[in-house]
Structure 1
């Protein structure tokens, strides 16, 4: 018999906060990602971390806490972020999720992050391609 597994039954807001805080500590120290985040976020880490906790709570627990537009936020980053940034972001995310959660729960966070990264990168690439076409 298959038992339905729901992250809402197994994941707490405190665990999400630990994941987000640990992950973004690593991001800030990363040679590739750190400068990008420093440029975009500057000294506004507390609000960013709270926003990311709300985002992941909404995504995994369906809490409805996140109010924002991640697609637009990522489109406006200059200089442009690309595949190498998303690959590094996912690598750090996988590592951190595996350290915080059991494998079954970590895989939920990783699958959601991979899906989100794929959609963001596709949209960023399409957006910049359309900009290039309109400038010709």
Structure 2
């Protein structure tokens, strides 16, 4: 029996983002970009990510920022490669699948993959 629901609101986004970054912080492949290189202030970063993904999925208009700039800054400090971006997508997709299922869950995975591909292309080609 499956009791997973679709992503329906900000609370679901918060659960997804928190669960995902809890994994990323300890991740052997890309965790160091967040903890050692960018030295992410999670109290600041997580609410930005809630807004980002909520805007992506529900068009809330509550996100303003330049994710490209942030990724380039990290890349300049410690170069990222295609494997890193692919790994991010894998962990994100797996986290969505563990928590949710439905139309919005599929949409957020697709959007995350597309965003990662654009980020990867722009970050690695400049």
Q: Highest Rg: 1 or 2?
A: 1
Superposed, which structure 2 residues align to 1:84-99 within 5 Å? 84-99=83-98
d(CA) in 1 for partners of 2:40, 2:124? 28
- Aligned in 2, Cα 1:49/1:105: closer, same or farther, shift over 3 Å? same
SS in structure 2 of the partner of residue 76 of structure 1:
helix
Measure how far apart 1:43 and its partner are.
5.6
TM-score, length basis structure 1: 0.81
Count of paired positions:
119
Structure 1 stretches of 4+ with a deviation exceeding 3 A read: none
Aligned residues of 1:90 and 1:113 also touching (Cα < 8 A) = yes
Q: 1:75 and 2:72 equivalent? A: yes
SS in structure 1 of the partner of residue 125 of structure 2:
helix
Root mean square deviation, CA, Å: 1.5
**Unaligned ranges ≥5, structure 1:** 1-6, 128-136
Q: Residue deviations 1:8-58, cap 9 Å, x none?
A: xx6200000000000000000100111110024426111111111110011
Superposed, which structure 2 residues align to 1:35-114 within 5 Å? 35-42=32-39, 44-77=41-74, 78-114=77-113
Q: Residue deviations 1:58-107, cap 9 Å, x none?
A: 11111111110011111111211111111111111011111221143221
**Unaligned ranges ≥5, structure 2:** 1-5
